[in-house]
Amino acid sequence: MAVVATGFFDGVHLGHRAVLDRMVTEARNRGTESVVVTFWPHPRNVLQQDADTLRLLNSLSEKRALCLAAGADCFEVLPFSRDFARLTAEGFVREYLRNRFDADTLVLGHDHRLGCDPFPNPEAMAKALRSAGVEPVFVDDCTAPGGRNVSSTLIRRLLAEGKVSDAASLLGYGYPLTGVVVAGAKIGRKIGYPTANMSLYEPLKLIPAGGVYIVRAEVLGRTFRGICNIGHRPTLDDGRGRTIETHLLDFNEDIYGLDITVTFLERLRDEQKFASLKELSLQLAEDEKAARNFDGY
């Protein structure tokens, strides 16, 4: 038998962690496996509720790593489709939780959805689960400062506003972007601030608001401080569109084609248009000083 938690778990934030922690505890107390059952792609993308605008907090690989780091024994992914969306709660529990994953316990938050059934309250959902042979364990909502429930929607909004440190406080970790280093215009190198330009591996990953950030960057198996600019490079006005480019402090190696992960720690300022490259260089020196003095690594 197994103790299971289901959901999309976008962000694997503190609210999700409360559910995962309870799942792991229940499984260990019973001497059974803890299993995360999630879906891909996002239901809202499949059902086209806001497919053009929805952006994700995690790639699938990030979500797997976070759930396993939280103590889950297994991480299972179910393909989400329109047919899958039509499953009733009873059908989902019997076909997947019971028959496929041998679940006898489901850990879930109070706002959890189950199948296509519109349960009016947790008590009605609990009754349906028990009738299908699964015992529900409800976990209280996790609240953010100000009394708001921790949610993926709230975290997306904070990141879209550039409030990366606030988002991190709800995620429980610094928000990362991962991609490959690609060639840029090499202007930064000419003014003493070479940058690693990133192309994201997950195209639906949410990119924080434009601006300059203090970041932690991981490349070549090492970790560096850095400053990252997200935006359209108005001083250069080169028509390249939005870029994500990071200057790594105390680093000067060729890393084109290599993986890089940039974790956002603090927003410094809006992107600005400067009258000259010299003015830009002077501002970057101030940004570098702020990054070196930052103690939140």
- Tokens for 213, please give them: 């950030």
Q: What is the pLDDT of residues 262-296, one digit of tens each?
A: 999 999 999 988 888 888 889 999 999 999 999 87
C-alpha dist (Å) from residue 269 to 50, 54, 163, 192, 261: 30, 25, 11, 20, 21
Mean pLDDT of all residues in 240-246: 88
C-alpha dist (Å) from residue 244 to 40, 70, 91, 261: 26, 30, 44, 12
Name the average pLDDT for the chain: 92
3-state class (DSSP) for residue 211: strand
Residue-range domains of the chain with CATH: 2-139 (3.40.50.620), 177-293 (2.40.30.30)
Q: What is the pLDDT of residues 155-194, one digit of tens each?
A: 999 999 999 999 999 999 999 999 999 987 666 676 778 9
Cis previous bond, 41, omega within 30: yes
The angle formed by the CA atoms of residues 10, 15 and 17, to the nearest 5 degrees, is 85
Mean pLDDT of all residues in 12-32: 97
Helix, strand, coil percentages for the chain (3-state, nearest 5): 30, 30, 40
Q: Is the pLDDT of residue 224 over 80?
A: yes
Report the run of H or E that residue 18 belongs to, with start and end: helix 14-30
Beta bridge partners of 246: 196, 228
Q: What is the pTM of this model?
A: 0.93
